[in-house]
A = this chain, B = another copy of it.
Amino acid sequence: MKTVEFTVRTGGRPTVVDLTGELAEFVSGKGDGLLSVFVPHATAGVAILELGAGSDHDLLESIDDLLPADQGKWAHSHGSPGHGRDHVLPAWIAPSVTVPIVDGRMTLGTWQSVALVDPNGDNPSRRVRMSFLAG
């Protein structure tokens, strides 16, 4: 297995960060196999969705709708407002996704990108692990 961790700038507010370019470069030339994308953080997830046409904004809004940041709501309530909510997120939007690789390319559809979903503005950067298992 080939495996690499890299750092993504996420800034100081909730964000959806495109990982597709780094992932494509990582699997390039590696033949067929499975790519695991894994975020080793307890307040972030990974998603496959269309980016750049408003859906990244819509996703962050749906997170606020479904898992409101309201601090009083959550038992896990230390830290910045919304931190308790951020800790529930990865159960719903998992920090792990698998993408099939054929001939060194992700088999994504035309409108699919792979993104880090980070509702937590406290960390200016995040780690992402890419692992390729050939087959």
Contacts and interface: CB of A to CB of B under 8 A. Distances in A.
B33 A34 contact: no
A93 B91 contact: yes
Interface on chain A toward B: helix, strand, loop, or mixed SS? Answer: mixed
Nearest to A132: B135
Contacts of A49: 42, 87-88, 90-91
How many copies of this chain does one complex carry? 3
A100 B135 contact: no
Interface in A55-87: 55, 57-59, 62, 66-67, 74-78, 84, 87
Contacts of A100: 1, 3, 36, 38, 129, 131
A58 B41 contact: no
Interface string A1-32: 10101000000000000000000000000001
Contacts of A133: 33-34, 133, 135
Interface of A: 1, 3, 5, 32-34, 36, 38-42, 45, 47-50, 53-55, 57-59, 62, 66-67, 74-78, 84, 87-88, 90-100, 102, 107-112, 117, 127, 129, 131-135
6 contacts: A3-B107, A38-B99, A54-B76, A55-B75, A62-B66, A62-B67
